[in-house]
Amino acid sequence: MAELPPLRRIVAGHNEQGIGCVTSDGAVASESLGLEGNSVKGRIWTTFDGLPTNDNNIDSEGFSKPIEKNFGLHPDVGTNLQYTEIEPGFVSPMHRTSSLDYNIWVEGEAILIMEDGSETVINRPGDVVIMRGALHAWKNPSTTKWCRWVTVLASAKPVVLQGKELEPRM
C-alpha cells in the first residue's frame, strides 16, 4: 500500500448542549480504486442533499453512507470530498464524470493526460486542477514515489456539446 501517512479527518460540530466541539478525529479509511495495482482513494466527507446542504446530517452520513452511482465518486445530488493516492508508474483509464471537480495537489507528481493528447505536469503542493466533465487520465511518472491529491466533487449536469450530452464513462 501507499507509503504516505494516513490522512487525518477532524470533524467539528456540536455536543448535546449545543456547544461547538470536535465530534470525531481519526484516520480516513482507504479503499482500492478498483483498478489494477495498489492505488487508493478515501472518502473524507460527503453530502447527499444538494446545496445548500443540511448541516445537521450525522457523521455516518458524511463518511460511511455508500455512494451508489457515478463510479462511487459523487452522489447524484451533493458533494464528495475525497483523497486519491496513486502508486509509482500507475496510469488510470481515461474517464469522465458528471461533476465539477476541484483537485488540490498535496504531494508527489502526476501528469494530467487529456483526450486531445496534451499532458500537464502537476507537482507543487497547492496546485489546483479544475475538471469540468472532460475526458482525462492520471499518470504517476515516478518509479519510486507515490502522489496524493484531495478532490471536492460536486454533482453537475452532464456537459452538452453540439446538442449532445456527454455521458460519464470509465
In a domain, 16, yes or no: no
Q: What is the rounded average pLDDT for all residues in the chain?
A: 87
In a domain, 17, yes or no: no
Query: Measured between alpha carbons, how far is 97 from 133 in angstroms, rounded to an integer?
Result: 6
Q: For residue 62, which phi and psi values (nearest 5 degrees)?
A: -70, -35
Query: Measured between alpha carbons, how far is 20 from 24 in angstroms, rounded to an integer?
Result: 12
In a domain, 11, yes or no: no
In a domain, 61, yes or no: yes
In a domain, 130, yes or no: yes
Which CATH number covers residue 154?
2.60.120.10
Q: Give tens-digit pLDDT for 84-124.
A: 999 999 999 999 988 899 999 999 999 999 999 999 999 99
Spatial neighbors of 98 by CB under 8 A, at least 6 apart, are 70, 133, 155, 156, 157, 158, 159, 167, 168
In a domain, 65, yes or no: yes
The whole domain housing 88 covers: 29-165
In a domain, 15, yes or no: no
Average pLDDT, consecutive stretches of 10 residues, N- to C-terminus, the chain (170 residues): 79 86 89 85 86 71 71 75 94 91 96 96 95 93 97 89 86
Question: Could you give the number of structural domains in the chain?
Answer: 1
Q: Which residues pair with 139 in a beta bridge?
A: 91, 111
In a domain, 108, yes or no: yes
Q: Smallest Cα–Cα separation from 108: which of 90, 86, 93?
A: 86
